[in-house]
């Protein structure tokens, strides 16, 4: 029973290693890069999981099944953590809530939009697309420069159509 209970802890221990390494990497690295810190954290967690699985020493088909299940659990939790970080980095709802959090007496719609203007949302995202070479400004016109983001966007739109039955929330 103790062995079975310990098995449940393996992917959680790997996730703890992922979070600790990601946060430490981001704090200590000279060149701050969220993407690199997330990659380092995930790799560290994977290493811890592999070590713990080897130490647990399960064999046979059932052992393989449990190891694959643990890998799926760790990968999903790591992906959830990646989404959690992204939510804080780019989520508009989180930023709006942060502004409301700093105003205990509340804000009118106009005050909230003054603290987090649409122009800031637009320029942050356009800046990222330009810096990453996905979009370029040629003369007075913006154009797609690299299809990577376009392919990703089409994939997400495809998923949106499958799940929601529409390509946009405004449809």
Partner 1 sequence: MRVLACGSILFCVAFAIHLVWWRVSLPRRQPRALLVLFPAVFAAGLAAMRVAVPDWAPATAWEALHALFMFGALTLAYIGTYPALEADSPTMAMVMMLDAAGDQGVERSAFEAAFDASTLLVPRIRDLVRDGMADEDDGRLRLTMKGRVFVGILITHRRLMGMGKGG
Positions 25 through 44 that interact with partner 1 (CB under 8 A): 26-27
CB of 107 to partner 1, least distance (A): 6
| The token pair that represents 34 in the structure block | 């969220």
Interface pick for partner 1 out of 30, 31, 101, 131 (rule CB under 8 A): 101
**Which residue, 50 or 156, has its beta carbon nearer to partner 1?**
156
Q: Nearest CA to 10 among 39, 37, 38, 47?
A: 47
Report 150-169 residues binding partner 1 (CB under 8 A). 150, 153, 156-157, 159-160, 162-165, 168-169
Give the angle subtended at the CA of 126 by the CAs of 118 and 145, to the nearest 5°.
155
For 127, how many CA atoms within 13 A lie in the half-sphere containing its CB?
Answer: 7
The correct pick among 48, 126, 131, 133 for binding partner 1 (CB under 8 A) is 126
Whats the size of the chain, residue-wise? Answer: 171
Stretch that binds partner 1, among 39-47, 48-56, 107-115 (CB under 8 A): 107-115
Q: Which of residues 16, 23, 43, 54 is near partner 1 by CB under 8 A?
A: 23
DSSP 145: -
To which residue do tokens 């154009």 refer? Answer: 143
13 is a contact residue toward partner 1 (CB under 8 A): no
Is residue 16 part of the contact set for partner 1 (CB under 8 A)?
Answer: no
Tell me the site size for partner 1, rule CB under 8 A: 84
In this structure, are residues 52 and 13 in contact, taking their beta carbons and an 8 Å threshold?
Answer: yes
Q: Does 127 bind partner 1 (CB under 8 A)?
A: no
The site string for partner 1 over 44-83 (x = CB under 8 A, - otherwise) reads -----------------xx-xxx-xx--xxxxxx-xx-xx
Element (H, E) at 130: helix 118-131
In angstroms, rounded to a whole number, what is the distance separating the alpha carbons of residues 117 and 95? 11
Q: Which of 33, 43, 50, 92 binds partner 1 (CB under 8 A)?
A: 92
| Token couple for 70 | 């643990």
């Amino acid at each position: 029973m103790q062995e079975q209970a310990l098995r449940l802890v393996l992917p959680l221990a790997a996730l703890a290693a992922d979070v600790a390494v990601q946060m430490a990497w981001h704090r200590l690295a000279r060149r701050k890069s969220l993407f690199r810190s997330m990659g380092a954290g995930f790799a560290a967690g994977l290493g811890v999981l592999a070590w713990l699985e080897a130490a647990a020493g399960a064999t046979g088909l059932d052992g393989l099944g449990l190891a694959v299940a643990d890998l799926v659990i760790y990968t999903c939790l790591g992906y959830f953590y990646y989404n959690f970080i992204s939510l804080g980095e780019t989520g508009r709802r989180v930023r709006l809530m942060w502004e409301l959090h700093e105003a205990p007496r509340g804000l009118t719609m106009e005050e909230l939009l003054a603290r987090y203007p649409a122009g800031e949302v637009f320029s942050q995202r356009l800046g990222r697309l330009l810096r990453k070479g996905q979009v370029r400004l040629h003369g007075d016109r913006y154009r797609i420069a690299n299809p990577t983001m376009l392919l990703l966007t089409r994939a997400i739109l495809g998923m949106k159509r499958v799940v929601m039955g529409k390509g946009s929330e405004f449809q």
